[in-house]
Amino acid sequence: MSKILIIEDEEAIADLEKDYLELSDFEVAIENTGDKGLETALSGKFDLVILDLMLPGMDGFEVCKKIREEKNIPIIMVSAKKDDIDKIRGLGLGADDYMTKPFSPSELVARVKAHMARYDRLVGSSQKMNDIIEIRGLKIDKTARRVYVNGEEKIFTTKEFDLLTFLAENPNHVYSKEELFREIWDMDSIGDIATVTVHIKKIREKIEFNTAKPQYIETIWGVGYRFKI
């Protein structure tokens, strides 16, 4: 199922868009500031972004530019002023479409579908450039299998990389050691899952500033681990 990120500070509008998109079977998330929106967009979980121009914090121009530096996913920019639309079109920020408020929900859905279809058509099954996950200072390049922490590359082994990538791709979700084992090791955990603990430790040594107070992979005592977004 395709995932759409709405970056919009007017709650009523965002909710309305969300409702209509969900009726068309899209999965929708909303962020209400530019900064949070950018971060979520760069997490790599979304297939399309609907971006309002006027936002608290970082504005839409900037967010669009920053997303484009890393991602090729379709971006639909939305503004209340027709003049702004003409202006940003000329700036060549790399947005894929521009809509002036107010617009009909069905038009939004139609455009979203069209952009998704084109993206699939062009990028298709080939190499998706969309394989960079970035959360705060952590950057994971999936095809190159490289990990950077605050710009510095850290060398990861296969299992470490797979485990970190899985957690980072599914943030804010607690996984038990058994679940992680099944996910990365492709088999049922017959008893011993101590190796998961050891791998988590090794990952933390590479990505955390202070392993005792992890910023990325949290321990949920008695349950498992969670990647904090």
Tokens of 148: 């950077």
Is residue 123 part of the contact set for a second copy (CB under 8 A)?
yes
Rule CB under 7 A: say whether 18 interacts with DNA.
no
* Beta-bridge mates of residue 217: 227
Residue 192 contacts which entry, a second copy, DNA, none (Cβ below 5-8 A, type-dependent): DNA
Cβ burial of 200 (10 Å; 0-12, 13-18, 19+) is: buried
Distance CA 66, CA 41 (A): 10
Lay out the site mask for a second copy across 7-46 (x = CB under 8 A, - = otherwise): ----------------------------------------
Ramachandran assignment for 56, one of left (phi > 0), alpha (psi -120 to 50 degrees), beta (any other): beta
Neighbours of 171 (CB within 10 A): 16
Options 157, 173, 178, 209; binder of DNA; rule CB under 7 A: 157
Binding at 173: pick from a second copy, DNA, none (beta carbon under 5-8 Å per type): a second copy
Residue 94 binds to a second copy (criterion: CB under 8 A): yes
CB of 200 to DNA, least distance (A): 5
Q: Does 116 bind a second copy (CB under 8 A)?
A: no
188 binds DNA (CB under 7 A): no
Q: Where does this chain touch DNA (CB under 7 A) — which range of 2-10, 39-47, 109-117, 190-198?
A: 190-198
Told to check if 215 binds DNA by CB under 7 A, we report: no
Q: Which does 125 bind (CB under 5 to 8 A by kind): DNA, a second copy, none?
A: none
Burial (CB < 10 A; 0-12, 13-18, 19+), residue 112, is buried
Size of the site for a second copy (CB under 8 A): 33
Binding mask 139-168 for a second copy (x = CB under 8 A): --x-xxxx----------xxx---------
Q: Which does 204 bind (CB under 5 to 8 A by kind): a second copy, DNA, none?
A: DNA
C-alpha torsion 63→161→169→144, nearest 10? 50
Question: Which positions lie near a second copy, rule CB under 8 A?
Answer: 72, 89-90, 92, 94, 96, 110, 113-114, 117-119, 121-123, 127, 129, 141, 143-146, 157-159, 172-174, 220-223, 226
